[in-house]
Structure 1
Amino acid sequence: MAKRGIGKMRERATFDRSIRTPDGSGGFTHSWQEEHACTVEYIYARGSEAVVAARLKGQAIYKIRIHQSAGARKIEPKWRMRDRRRGTEYNIREVDAISDQKWVYLVVESGVAA
């Protein structure tokens, strides 16, 4: 198997954190604040039952690989990922920042509410 290099990382993505701001009448408004931007690699997600079922509902599930960094280690499942070229927003379902010293792996899903 060939080693994975930076050559596959052609896409740009932004990772946003959810913030609540007081609205002045005792409530809060919900918005997103950009926390981290980087290049990403989309990794094909094999057709497990969950992936096939999600596709039937119009959802897309992707595995994402990004370089390990201080900003990448802060990413949490309650954040979102935005594809900079296509404008697609993804909910982050899983973050694995500990199993590989060089990479952070994410599972993201589009087409569903957070």
Structure 2
Amino acid sequence: MAMITANDLRDRVSFEKREEVDDGYGNTVGMWVAQFERDACILPSKGGETVIAARLQEVQPALIIVRFDAETATITAEWRLIETRSGSIYNIRTAADMERRRRFITMLCEPAWRREPSPARPRAETSLSWRTAMTPPKAGDQFRMPDAEFEAILTRAAPKFRRSARVPSRQQRR
């Protein structure tokens, strides 16, 4: 690991600890409570992929280094930290004094969550039926017409179909 100096601590992070808080109705609710803020050095590591919910997710762990003091010595893997500039939330996986010189605490962290862009979905028009709006898009959907227009075409064509499909009566068959 490279030598870390005070000049490298360019980022600001806030540490939070999960505590049971009374909700006023006799129940306890787990909430993140802010503990303290420190200057930090955030070093992104090589990313990778992991299987989460039966699909591949990218994971980019980071090494986050803060100065050693009485408060930072209490950090455990049950805590999380928030980068104050960007609002990124990191789960702490490990926290230790790697150099064993009581100068810096090094934490291996992973992003807690990442908001993914929602896939583009076709907007349902008011003239389309619920069945049309609920079916997944297929090849040729750009040629699909609204139900009202389709019904109008069937209404115009209905007399022609009735005449051609009519079974002749017994008198006409003779």
Moved over 6 A (4+): none
Deviation string, structure 1 residues 35-55 (Cα, Å, up to 9, x no partner): 12100001242x3xxx4115x
Decide which structure has the larger Cα Rg and report it.
2
Aligned-residue CA RMSD in angstroms? 2.1
Shift of 1:2: 6.6
**How high is the TM-score relative to the length of structure 1?**
0.80
SS in 2 for 1:7: helix
SS in 2 for 1:41: strand
- Trace 1:53-92 onto structure 2 (pairs within 5 A): 53-54=49-50, 57-92=57-92
**How high is the TM-score relative to the length of structure 2?**
0.55
**Larger strand fraction of residues:** 1
For residues 14 and 38 of structure 2, the distance between their equivalents in structure 1, rounded to whole angstroms, comes to 7
SS in 2 for 1:4: coil
Unaligned runs of 5+ in 2: 51-55, 114-174
For residues 80 and 13 of structure 1, the distance between their equivalents in structure 2, rounded to whole angstroms, comes to 10
Unaligned runs of 5+ in 1: none
Shift of 1:60: 2.7
**Larger helix fraction of residues:** 2
Q: Relative CO higher for 1 or 2, CA cutoff 8 Å, sep ≥ 6?
A: 1
The one-letter code of the counterpart of 1:106 is M
Matched positions, count: 107
Deviation string, structure 1 residues 25-80 (Cα, Å, up to 9, x no partner): 453212111112100001242x3xxx4115x6143310111101011101111011
Identity of matched residues, %: 21
